[in-house]
Chains A and B, each alone.
Chain A
Amino acid sequence: MMQEPQEVVEETVTIEEDPGTPTSHVSVVTSDDGTTRRTETKDNVTNMKVTKVVKTITRRTFQPVILTESKASTVPPSTPTPSETKPVTKMVKTVTTRTVRQVPLGPDGLPLPEGSSPLGSYTDSIDRRYMKNGERFITPQASSTLTRSYNNYSDSYNDTPDSQFRHYALHDGYGDVPDNYGSLSRGVNYRPYRPYMPTGGYRPENSYTLPIRKDDYGHVAQPQVPMGSSTVDLNRSQPERFQPEPYGLEDDRRSLGPDDEEPYDLEPDYSTANRRTLPGRTIREPLRNGPRVRGYEDPIETELIDERHPYIHGMYPAPLAQPERGSLASLDRMGGRRSPSIDSIRKDPRWRDPDLPEVIAMLGHPIDPVKSNAAAYLQHLCYENDKIKKDVRQLKGIPVLVGLLDHPKAEVHRKACGALRNISYGKDHDNKVAIKSCDGIPALIRLLRKTNDMEVRELITGTLWNLSSYEPLKMVIINHGLQTMTNEVIIPHSGWEQEPNEDSKPRDAEWTTVFKNTSGCLRNVSSDGAEARRRLRECEGLVDALLHALQSAVGKKDMDNKSVENCVCIMRNLSYHVHKEVPGAEKFQDPSALQGPGSAGTQRKKNDDAGCFGGKKAKGRKNGEHNKNYDTLDLPKRTEPTKGFELLYQPEVVRLYLSLLTESQNFNTLEAAAGALQNLSAGQWTWSNYIRATVRKEKGLPILVELLRSDSDKVVRAVAIALRNLSIDRRNKDLIGSYAMRDLVSNLPSGQQRPAKNLEEDTVVAILNTIHEIITDSSENARSLITAQAIDKLVAINRTSQSARETKAASHVLQTVWSYKELRNGLTKDGWNKTHFQPIATGTPKGSKSCKPGYDDTTLPLMEKNQDGYSTIDQRDKDSKYKSSDGSSDLQEREPLKNDTNRKHYIRSNRPTVSLVDACDVKPQPVDSWV
């Protein structure tokens, strides 16, 4: 009573897709365990390197090659745009390798005032490089501290791929490094570097294993300080991977799964360390690399980028088109340092990966394959790497990518879309906003309409799903894409046909990725409030198709997948407040609902009796007199088949939800289905009356009660609240009181020790509120409560619970129990006395405690704050209930009702045998089923 049933819980939670699938995919799948992992991580870490690594991974051959000289050969292959599924990696390779090299060389000399220790190294960068190159530098100590750190740093960027190997091979070396650092710089810096240490050529050992490479990379890397920094961040990202966002799709996990966090314990540390350090780094040294580096984090970035572009443009085409040439050119530079013979292409400094501004610049390259390669590389870089995403955004890469969505070549818009999907994933809403700000949403929708390429459609809808997780974008998506998504994806994949063809038999839904993504997107946007719900309800064909899909899922007994979950969640959200929001709803309002529960009590009862269809089977039923048979009386006549949003609340859906509740193993689906029933059974209008009766008639109560035993907290909660709403129907209340009490009570904590399930506070409160609702106006149910041994628990909660909400809710139940004078005798015999049933004064005056405030805390705020989120049944309903329940005044009001023994008797006489399924509803003859 007091706390109204929270009607519906809309899905606030958004599910995002995982972006990075492609990248991680590759590496994981292909490579060996250790290697693979490494690669992945590294990938994230070092952009440039990543590419290479990826390659390696993808093509087995590479790895070995790398060490040796084969590199050169490998590289060339990359040139062509990747046709493979995992485009990203390949692409990356090509692009990366060629381009950047020179860039580093160019002195950007931006002064960085706050060069941290690493920066200091920069100054030396040139020397350093050499040093690296010349692995001779073996003596770590020889190099000054700064230098060293620097080196390591740089190495890490460039070498990452290699470093991976090294990690494995050169573990020993690592240990030393840290020490050096320690001496050099502050602890902070040191840490981050660590991971890279392996790369550092310092170690003799390292040099042995992978000397050449390191050097190469080292050279390259240095110049690209920025990359390095980004790399660091990447490391950071690693940990994140492991812990995908709560709402991340399964895909994420999948992709993530492969990486083992444990093996590389260090990494997590690094990541953290990196973060800390990063800021410092940015600042870094002015001299050489400054400009580039800065780009990422500094305001200057933009300028830098611009400057770069021309340069880049010039350079890139050549290398790409003529890889060799490019390499040669680069060679010149590097050549001085190192003997070509030593390293393979890989080792060659020339093959530096492009840095981020370069990649973004390449998006505008006149040659399409360059564009698509660049986009694919971006996708790769952005996989699970928030830092890079942010950098891309700040470098204004997002509008360029969005622009490419309209590119006529499939290869280009596909890759652009892939990059956007990765960028749009994650908690950084700025990325999502950036996509929206450059009209990315309409562009995506346009492409969705235009393309038939499944992969592209998956990417588009995945991106939209990601975008839809951010509240402010939901309406934008609805405005631009609702009907398109419905027409292009939902309807065709649901199997629903607007005008069923007699020849064709009904089609089943296809649980494609596109459908999953789109339904996920709609699920998210459906939680955006009344207007969003209205739009979705009125979207032509949407509700019909979703229902068809769900029915098909039930028919096929395939109910545990994500698509079904999404569909049910949409349905639940759209069912929220139907009784208030649907056009014409006012025509169906139940006048009795306008009265408070207290005064309406009697009347309600009558209605409820009618609701049990006593009239039909009325044998010996008294209720015939006031029988309002909903079947005949109130149900609006339908002249034409129901369609659209009306389907949401037709009694037919009850069976669907009950089937889901019976069969699904997916907790989210269970919760949503229970939530849908909860929503539909809330409020006072004809349809909710009918729904409540139908749930009983369809034997839904036992199903719901059984779910009270679920292991899932949220399922228990949704079911409890649904039962509360259902008990607005008098007969339901009687049934639930008789048969669900034990399960409700068993979910309550006993004393301070929680039941096995250890339910959350919200759930406990929901159950207490449901119990309160059930025993209100029913001393019989209160008696069941006592029989279920609940008083012990309630008193314990009331006295010892740490939760004020639980205490209050329990207190209300106890007060209600005590208000039944006829029960007091028995209670006293059991050793209870009045004090047990009164609110415990804990510091606060009693009066205030038992009063509204208690309830307010729990329910009211929710309602008023966001109607969309959790709200109670009905405002009206709530208010009335509220009043009646809270405060001492309520109690007074209530008492008369409770003591109205006549009424009770009357009720009881009406239901001689209560069985969980209403007796009236049960077929009179024993059921006999052939099996």
Chain B
Amino acid sequence: QQRIEIHKLRDGDNLILGFSIGGGIDQDPSQNPFSEDKTDKGIYVTRVSKGGPAEVAGLRMGDKIMQVNGWDMTMVTHDQARKKLTKKNEDVVRLLVTRKSLENAVRQSMMQH
């Protein structure tokens, strides 16, 4: 697990994070290319725009978003997740994400020992 803080970029009236999400309990989890467990309805980072705030902050495609500013994102609809991320009155978003590669790294390291 990893904490990532993204400072939104202002673009006109909009605040931009520079990534896209997929998933949610209202979505078909089997179509999520990033999840290992195909029943996982969590929110995943599907794309990260080049040079955008998210990338700068270290967010990667395929990261699973566990929390946004402390809000649980593992049992929310797609739209609820989107809303939590796009609050206009917040310039900073703090994410708690898990990354498969991280998990793998951890797992591997554990196995080694």
Contact = CB atoms under 8 A, between A and B. Distances in A.
Nearest to B86: A931
Interface in A632-681: 662
B19 A927 contact: no
A916 B19 CA distance: 26
A931 B28 contact: no
A834 interface: no
Given A916-B25, A931-B21, A926 B32 contact: yes
B46 A928 contact: yes
Nearest to B85: A931
B27 interface: yes
Contacts of A919: 28
Nearest to B33: A926
B4 to A, nearest CB: 13
Contacts of A931: 16-17, 19-21, 82, 85-86
B26 interface: yes
Contact of B21 (A702, A922, A929): A929
Interface in A674-732: 699, 702-703
Contact of A922 (B17, B19, B28, B32): B28
Tell which of B49, B78, B82 has the most Cβ of chain A within 10 Å: B78
B50 interface: no
B79 A699 contact: yes
Interface in A900-931: 913, 915-917, 919, 922, 925-931
Tell which of A925, A926, A928 has the most Cβ of chain B within 10 Å: A926
Contacts of B26: 699, 702, 915-917, 922
29 contacts: A662-B80, A699-B26, A699-B79, A702-B77, A702-B80, A703-B77, A913-B28, A915-B26, A915-B28, A916-B77, A925-B31, A926-B22, A926-B27, A927-B22, A927-B27, A927-B78, A928-B20, A928-B21, A928-B22, A928-B47, A929-B21, A929-B22, A929-B82, A930-B47, A931-B16, A931-B17, A931-B19, A931-B20, A931-B85
A919 B82 CA distance: 20
Nearest to A930: B20
A409 interface: no
Nearest to B32: A926
Contacts, number: 58
A913 B88 CA distance: 35
A922 B49 CA distance: 26
B10 interface: no
Given A915-B25, A926-B27, A931-B17, A662 B46 contact: no
Interface string B42-79: 00001101000000000000000000000000000111
Contact of A917 (B77, B82, B83): B77
A931 B9 CA distance: 11
A557 interface: yes
A435 B26 CA distance: 56
A524 to B, nearest CB: 34
Given A557-B88, A917-B77, A931-B21, A922 B83 contact: no
Contacts of B28: 913, 915, 919, 922, 926
Interface in A39-62: none
A476 to B, nearest CB: 45
Interface band, chain A: 10 to 19
A913 B49 CA distance: 33
B35 to A, nearest CB: 11
Contact of A926 (B17, B31, B49, B79): B31
A476 B24 CA distance: 52
The dominant DSSP class at the B interface is: mixed
A927 B22 CA distance: 6
A765 B23 CA distance: 35
A919 B21 CA distance: 19
B57 to A, nearest CB: 13
Tell which of A699, A702, A930 has the most Cβ of chain B within 10 Å: A930
A555 to B, nearest CB: 12
Interface band, chain B: 20 to 34
Given A929-B78, A930-B19, A931-B17, A922 B86 contact: no
Interface in A20-52: none
Contact of B24 (A703, A925, A927, A930): A927
Nearest 7 interchain pairs by C-beta: A917-B26, A931-B85, A930-B20, A926-B31, A931-B17, A929-B82, A928-B22
B67 to A, nearest CB: 15
Nearest to A701: B26
A816 to B, nearest CB: 28
Given A699-B77, A702-B25, A916-B25, 9 more contacts: A702-B77, A915-B25, A919-B28, A922-B27, A925-B31, A927-B22, A929-B21, A929-B78, A930-B19
A662 B79 CA distance: 10
Contacts of B49: 930
Nearest to A918: B26
Contacts of A557: 88
A929 B76 CA distance: 14
Contacts of A662: 80, 83
Contacts of B85: 931
Contacts of B78: 927, 929
Contacts of A922: 26-28
A915 B75 CA distance: 12
A913 B80 CA distance: 21
Nearest to A739: B25
A25 to B, nearest CB: 32
Tell which of A699, A703, A929 has the most Cβ of chain B within 10 Å: A929
Contacts of A930: 19-20, 47, 49
A159 B32 CA distance: 79
Contacts of B16: 931
Contacts of A699: 26, 77, 79
Contacts of A928: 20-22, 46-47
Contacts of A929: 20-22, 78, 82
Nearest to A919: B28
A382 B49 CA distance: 66
A736 to B, nearest CB: 14
A917 B29 CA distance: 13
Contacts of A925: 31
B33 to A, nearest CB: 9
A489 to B, nearest CB: 30
Contacts of B21: 928-929, 931
B40 to A, nearest CB: 13
A915 B47 CA distance: 25
Interface in B74-111: 77-80, 82-83, 85-86, 88
A392 to B, nearest CB: 48
A918 B104 CA distance: 35
Contacts of B80: 662, 702
Contacts of B77: 699, 702-703, 916-917
Contacts of B32: 926
Contacts of B25: 702, 915-916
Interface string A816-852: 0000000000000000000000000000000000000
A539 B95 CA distance: 50
Tell which of A919, A922, A925, A931 has the most Cβ of chain B within 10 Å: A931
A852 to B, nearest CB: 40
Interface string A369-390: 0000000000000000000000
Nearest to B46: A928
A838 B54 CA distance: 59
B91 to A, nearest CB: 14
B96 to A, nearest CB: 16
A926 B78 CA distance: 10
A131 B79 CA distance: 79
A740 to B, nearest CB: 12
A324 B46 CA distance: 85
A922 B46 CA distance: 18
A440 B68 CA distance: 56
B10 to A, nearest CB: 14
A703 B77 CA distance: 9
A71 B75 CA distance: 70
